[in-house]
A and B are shown apart, each in its own frame.
Chain A
Amino acid sequence: MAAALPAAHGGDLTRPGQHTWVHAIVRWVFIATSLAFLAALLLAPLATVFAMAFQRGLYAYLESFADPDTAAAIRLTLTTAAVAVPINTVFGLAAAWAIAKFEFRGKSVLITLIDLPLAISPVISGMVFVLLFGLHGWFGAWLRDHDLSIVFALPGIMLATMFVTFPYVARELIPLMQQLGNDEEEAAITLGADGWMTFFRVTLPKIRWGLVYGVVLCNARAMGEFGAVSVVSGHIRGLTNTMPLHIEILYNEYNFVGAFAVASLLTLLAGLTLVIKTAIERTGYRRRR
């Protein structure tokens, strides 16, 4: 959005009514109200994360990462994102190619279905996998007989994460590729390039910023998801605790330095996500929905 935000002033002083004291007061009230609202609701919580994490100094902060359960939570979150994000990226590219490059019946239904996980409560997103693979679920008995576990284990966490992050890359690429059109791809095919070559040499360079944008948002959600993962994880320390779940455990044990230390990492990740997002918007890339 930042790139789409033009300078506000643009010749304001020549406009009627712009120089009166009433206007000055209105302007001041609007800016003050906005800043006060954001300071209380957004900036104060962000500052608190770091104030709480460092309340016993740098050493205590760093030491909280030496806890093997915290280290395990960080590893699990990275592993989960490393699986879920690439799979959903491939899915997003495939879905965007099918939807943007071809005309077929039921296309709008398909687009709606892809967006579905965004409309569903994270708790429900996790619960569906418990109903399928939990001990009393559809495949529960079969999984137990074959000594397999999905719920309260790594596969369940990955499935729930994939479910909630499912639409992110696709919904960024579909409108982008629809708008860019097919002319260049059709020219490439006519000139003898095969499908993969057309994709890698023609399409990919055109959509690269949209792709990075979608992947970055997908990754932020994958690493930060709480509700869906909480339902399927079983909260086994050192085994099925992701970073957000580990924050909950430490917080409920009144280990505030530990909880906010982990939270500070996720806050930095969110900040990095916004920096990349803003940088992409500065290139002139604009979201299409």
Chain B
Amino acid sequence: MSFRKASILPGFGLTFGFTTFFLSVIVLLPLAALTLAAASMHWSDFVHVVLSPRALGSYRLSFGASFLAAAINLVFGLIIAWTLVRYEFPARKLIDALIDMPFALPTAVSGIALTTVFAHNGWIGRFLEPWGVRIAYTWLGVTLALTLITMPFVVRAVQPALLEVQRDLEDAAETLGAGRIYVARRIILPTVLPSLLTGFTLAFARALGEYGSVIFIAGNLPMKTEITPLLIVIHLEEFDYQGAAALGVVMLVISFVVLFAINLLQAWGRRQQVRAAH
């Protein structure tokens, strides 16, 4: 088999050549530089950087807050998607369009706005202060920022799946005496589960790398409210390129693992869909 199938359409050489060249220069070469910078380190130096107490503290926060944010969105994303798909209420279309706002809004804007709202004298923060709940400059703030930034993933993943749920199946089940909870568990949940988990994982992956919105609300104390991307920036600012590259490689490997999980989930979702169609 040759490299490509014959076609009467022109332009393969030009477009394929430009695509691979540009991809190599802008994306692949820089990423190779990162890997090589980390690979040029002595093994013990690498371990020293990526397993330092400060680095471990940052992983704990980054993973914990990202997981929590994705979990919050799992619950509320499902509720919002359900509300948008199944119920009629004023401004429904407007709210549906606004769901994408966190993707369109620059992260720095989300960061300063969220910090202002949840600061001790902010619109919402002032009502939490008497209860002893502090959000700005704590890990709660980090979680909240990550929740906002990743909010659209679950909603947008689940919405099409909810539209696919066969309502005649629900009706049939209810006619035969099934309760709403039984219908939700046996008919609705299996249909939306793959997309729900895909949305969760996409949100988690995005949250792990997020920087702009978090640094404003985090307080950025080492071991307490310092996320891994910030620790990389601190290494860079001290001209410790190797240390930054070592942490960068750790994050890169984790992103690839999560990406792989997303691909598996999506393949599973497609299989479920095919099964449901038969």
Contact = CB atoms under 8 A, between A and B. Distances in A.
A-B pairs, 10 with minimum CB distance: A121-B209, A224-B106, A226-B212, A128-B30, A104-B4, A45-B113, A227-B211, A195-B10, A270-B104, A98-B15
Given A130-B236, A199-B11, A227-B107, 11 more contacts: A34-B76, A45-B148, A48-B113, A98-B16, A110-B23, A124-B34, A131-B245, A185-B9, A189-B8, A224-B107, A266-B106
Interface of B: 1, 3-5, 7-12, 14-16, 18-20, 22-23, 26-31, 33-34, 37, 76, 79-80, 82-89, 92-93, 95-110, 112-114, 116-117, 122-124, 144, 147-148, 151, 156, 159-160, 163, 167, 171, 174-175, 180, 205, 208-212, 216, 229-230, 232-233, 236, 239, 241, 244-245, 248, 251-252, 255-256, 258-259
Given A33-B76, A91-B22, A186-B8, A123 B232 contact: yes
A95 B19 contact: yes
Contacts of A227: 107, 210-212, 229
Given A136-B239, A225-B106, A8 B34 contact: no
A102 B4 contact: yes
Given A127-B236, A226-B108, A102 B83 contact: no
A266 B107 CA distance: 10
A151 to B, nearest CB: 10
Interface stretch (A59-67, A141-149, A204-212, A272-280): A272-280
Interface string A111-141: 0011011011111100111111011111000
Nearest to B105: A270
Interface of A: 1-2, 4-9, 15-17, 22-23, 26-27, 30-31, 33-35, 37-38, 40-46, 48-49, 52, 90-91, 94-95, 97-99, 101-105, 110, 113-114, 116-117, 119-124, 127-132, 134-138, 159, 162-163, 166, 182, 185-186, 189-190, 194-195, 198-199, 217, 220, 223-227, 230-231, 243-245, 247-248, 251, 259-260, 263, 266-267, 270-271, 273-274, 277-278
B205 A119 contact: yes
A5 B96 contact: yes
A34 B79 contact: yes
Contacts, number: 307
Contact of A31 (B10, B89, B159): B89
B232 A104 contact: no
Given A2-B97, A248-B108, A128 B79 contact: no
Contacts of B10: 189, 194-195, 198
Given A2-B97, A98-B12, A227-B211, A124 B251 contact: yes
A199 B10 CA distance: 10
A244 B108 contact: yes
A258 to B, nearest CB: 11
Nearest to A103: B5
B5 A102 contact: yes
A49 B20 CA distance: 42
16 contacts: A5-B92, A31-B89, A48-B122, A104-B3, A105-B1, A116-B31, A124-B248, A127-B248, A132-B33, A182-B7, A189-B8, A189-B9, A243-B106, A260-B113, A266-B108, A266-B109
B237 to A, nearest CB: 9
A23 B102 CA distance: 32
A164 B245 CA distance: 18
Contact of A105 (B3, B18, B87, B245): B3
B87 to A, nearest CB: 5
